[in-house]
């Protein structure tokens, strides 16, 4: 269906050398987009790029730290000047740190907020400035089921993902008039490197399977359809929305 076809569009996916970011990058490439992978580790990023290139996809890389506003702006502006427009941005870079809230280290709180919230602002603003001039663009921010729910030991992460959802609403409110659509995807519990410790915990996995109506962990490929939808012409009048992809956990008791 042409409405989902991304042929001729370029997508930047932050934090895409592994995990959800890599899966989304592959999915966008499968839908026809040329994809620019981003991470801080140049070696790991190039390995990811070579994996996708070997499957026949058009892949570039852009190394920068999403938490450094000046580095972000320099990288985005430089790439656009040399290679052309970003039509799609997927703000995926993020981190987790687990600790009882009363013992949560302040420096880890600052790092977590910079990585999960500031980066969405920095990269979103840098890309949107170019999109606004062209009168079009798609921004997808990766939120979390913790946008709406909390569980012990991750209060700062919950705060950060709530901020991502509300920042997404703000982006849509400010930028829809310029032809941009800005939405978020809120994954539930997925089998990813970020969740490796939980996946390996039989007690937690058993709890999750009982708590989730689908009765299992999500697989990262199950996020691709939502991302392609929000990046394509199929979602031209969807704006400021957070799409939960969570096996039903956020709607059940």
**What is the distance between the alpha carbons of residues 154 and 136, in angstroms, rounded to a whole number?**
36
> Do 52 and 58 contact (CB within 8 A), yes or no?
no
Residue 146 in tokens: 């913790």
pLDDT in tens, 71-126: 999 999 999 999 999 999 999 999 999 999 999 999 999 999 999 999 999 999 99
Is the whole-model pTM more than 0.85? Answer: yes
Count of CB atoms within 10 A of residue 36's CB?
24
Q: Nearest 5°: phi and psi at 103? A: -110, 5
pLDDT at residue 206 is higher than 90 = yes
How does residue 17 score in pLDDT terms, banded at 50, 70 and 90?
very high
pLDDT of residue 253: 87
Residues noted as catalytic: 157
Average pLDDT over residues 10-35: 98
Beta strands in 79-196 (DSSP E): 88-91, 137-142, 180-187
Tokens 């790029």 appear where?
A: 49
Task: Give the three-class secondary structure for 163.
Answer: helix
CA distance 167 to 197: 29
For the beta carbon of residue 1, count every other beta carbon within 10 angstroms.
7
**Helix (H/G/I), strand (E/B), else coil: 3:** helix
What stretches of 6-104 adopt beta strand conformation (E)?
A: 10-13, 34-39, 59-63, 88-91
Q: Chain-wide mean pLDDT for the chain?
A: 97
User: What separation in angstroms does the CA of 10 have from each of 52, 57, 85, 217?
Assistant: 15, 12, 7, 31
Taken in order of first residue, the domains within the chain and their CATH numbers are 2-192+222-244 (3.40.50.720)
Mean pLDDT over 227-238 rounds to 98
The Cα 150–Cα 143 span in angstroms is 13
Stretch 205-231: mean pLDDT = 97
Helix (H, G, I), strand (E, B) or coil at 88: strand
Strand, helix or coil at 179?
A: coil
- What number of other Cβ atoms are within 10 A of residue 251's Cβ? 10
Helix (H) or strand (E) holding 167: helix 155-175
CA–CA dist 102, 176 (Å, integer): 40
Greatest Cα pair distance in the chain:
52
Place of tokens 């709890």: 207
Asked if 14 and 93 touch (Cβ cutoff 8 Å), the reply is yes
> Judging by DSSP bridges, how do beta strands 242-245 and 88-91 pair with one another?
unpaired
């Amino acid at each position: 269906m042409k409405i989902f076809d991304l042929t001729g569009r370029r997508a930047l996916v932050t934090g895409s050398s592994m995990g959800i970011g890599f899966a989304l990058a592959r999915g966008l490439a499968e839908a026809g987009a040329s994809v620019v992978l981003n991470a801080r580790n140049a070696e790991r990023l190039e390995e990811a790029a070579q994996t996708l290139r070997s499957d026949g996809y058009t892949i570039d890389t852009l190394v920068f730290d999403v938490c450094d506003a000046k580095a972000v702006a320099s990288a985005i502006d430089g790439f656009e000047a040399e290679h052309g427009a970003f039509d799609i941005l997927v703000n995926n870079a993020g981190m987790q740190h687990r600790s009882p809230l009363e013992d949560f280290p302040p420096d880890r709180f600052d790092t977590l907020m910079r990585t999960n919230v500031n980066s969405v602002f920095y990269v979103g603003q840098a890309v949107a400035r170019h999109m606004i001039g062209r009168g079009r663009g798609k921004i997808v921010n990766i939120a979390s089921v913790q946008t709406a729910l909390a569980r012990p030991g991750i209060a700062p992460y919950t705060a950060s993902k709530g901020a991502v959802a509300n920042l997404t609403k703000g982006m849509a409110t400010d930028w829809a008039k310029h032809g941009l659509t800005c939405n978020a995807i809120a994954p539930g519990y997925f089998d990813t490197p970020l969740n490796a410790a939980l996946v390996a915990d039989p007690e937690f996995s058993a709890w999750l399977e009982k708590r989730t109506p689908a009765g299992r962990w999500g697989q990262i490929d199950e996020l691709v359809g939502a991302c392609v939808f929000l990046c394509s012409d199929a979602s031209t009048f969807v704006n400021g929305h957070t799409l939960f992809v969570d096996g039903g956990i956020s709607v059940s008791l």
